[in-house]
Amino acid sequence: GMGWGLLAVGLLLAVYTLLRHGLRRLPPPLARPELRGRTAIVTGGSGGIGAATALELARCGARVILAARSAPRGEATAQRIRTETGNAEVRFMQLDLASLRSVRAFASAFLRQEPHLHLLINNAGVSAGGTTEDGFSLSFQVNHLGHFLLTQLLLQRLQSCAPSRIVIVASSAHCAGRLHPDNLGHPPPGLLSTFQDYCDSKLANILHARELATRLQGTEVTCYAVHPGFVNTELFRHVPLWLKPLFLPLVWLFFLDAAEGARTPLHCATHHGLERFSGRYFTDCRPQQPWPLARDDRLARALWEASERLVGL
């Protein structure tokens, strides 16, 4: 059923990426920028790429807010990062992107408790089926709608602290995305529904960055969409059990670890002189043309207006 389709598309994407980028050719190591006095939020910061990104930001001296759903995991990760970096300015705050109410509560608590915001890393992602309390499909809400609302609620603070940046973690899976602005958040029926929903949400991520950049011109707030690479994180925890043995050799061969997956998000968050690339899509720490639908300005605007309506802005 869906598992086979998911595996087939995953394999094609992996092969395509390998042919395109060569086997695990890594960009040069990151210079450590000085981030003391700067505040960052990392969504999905309790594990995977999010935790690796937060760790590196903390090493650079930033104050880092790990925004994640699970308090035990979030607190444990914050503690681990404080210990590992010697940076005491790392804290967990609860955020469940599958609940627009939780997004609003997080934003108002953050704005009340934290005077500054310079970096917003919209990293959290899921690839699971299901419906949220708000009535949207889980992947689309967590990956796009929840982050869209979060970004809007924090935008004024980002502007008052400018220069500041927003990094949206997308994926090359956007190549299979299709968006119908009048039917957002309700994936098509059928076997590949969950996978389609994931791809749609990743297309939405890239279009979100594109339209956001247009609206932010002249504010010194810039934004970037990134493909982190095929990273072996818990995103794949929903692969059916019988498929796991097929997946494991692939994972060992081709998938990056979380620290490698954090490179491109970190590059877009901290690298000097990227302002002229605001709204663009990055792979391997370089701007790259996404697939044609992800460059459609009319679709980007339609997505924006529909998203505003759906999250009640």
User: What confidence score (pLDDT) does residue 141 get?
Assistant: 97
Total number of domains in the chain: 1
pLDDT over 80 at 105, yes or no? yes
pLDDT over 70 at 128, yes or no? yes
The single residue of 16, 198, 224, 281 carrying the catalytic annotation is 198
Quickly state the pLDDT bin for 122 (edges 50, 70, 90).
very high
DSSP code per residue over 266-302: HHHHH-TT-GGGTT-EEETTEEE---GGGG-HHHHHH
Burial of 253 (0-12, 13-18, 19+ CB in 10 A): exposed
The answer to whether position 21 is within a domain reads: no
**pTM (two decimals):** 0.85
Q: Report CA torsion sign: 149, 155, 156, 161.
A: positive
- 198 labelled catalytic: yes
The answer to whether position 24 is within a domain reads: no
User: What confidence score (pLDDT) does residue 188 get?
Assistant: 73
The answer to whether position 270 is within a domain reads: yes
**Whole-angstrom distance, CA of residue 246 vs CA of residue 50:** 26
Summarize the confidence of residues 236-251 as an average pLDDT. 60
Contact by Cβ (8 Å): 269, 167: yes
pLDDT over 60 at 20, yes or no? no
User: What confidence score (pLDDT) does residue 249 get?
Assistant: 58
Q: Which residue has the higher pLDDT, 232 or 78?
A: 78
Output the CA angle 248-250-254, nearest 5 degrees.
Answer: 130
Contact by Cβ (8 Å): 85, 55: yes
Tell me the CATH number at 279.
Answer: 3.40.50.720
pLDDT over 80 at 24, yes or no? no
Please list the residues that pair with 119 across neighbouring strands.
40, 165
Q: What is the DSSP letter of 234?
A: G
Tokens of 179: 């968006």
Tens-digit pLDDT profile for residues 143-193: 999 999 999 999 999 999 999 999 999 988 898 899 998 899 997 777 788
The answer to whether position 11 is within a domain reads: no
Contact by Cβ (8 Å): 279, 113: no
Looking at every residue in the chain, the average pLDDT score rounds to 89
The answer to whether position 77 is within a domain reads: yes
pLDDT over 80 at 236, yes or no? no
Domain that holds residue 273: 29-311
The answer to whether position 23 is within a domain reads: no
The answer to whether position 18 is within a domain reads: no
**Whole-angstrom distance, CA of residue 178 vs CA of residue 238:** 22
Quickly state the pLDDT bin for 302 (edges 50, 70, 90).
very high
Tens-digit pLDDT profile for residues 184-229: 999 777 778 888 999 999 999 999 999 999 999 999 999 999 998 7
User: What confidence score (pLDDT) does residue 234 get?
Assistant: 47
Tokens of 255: 């998938």
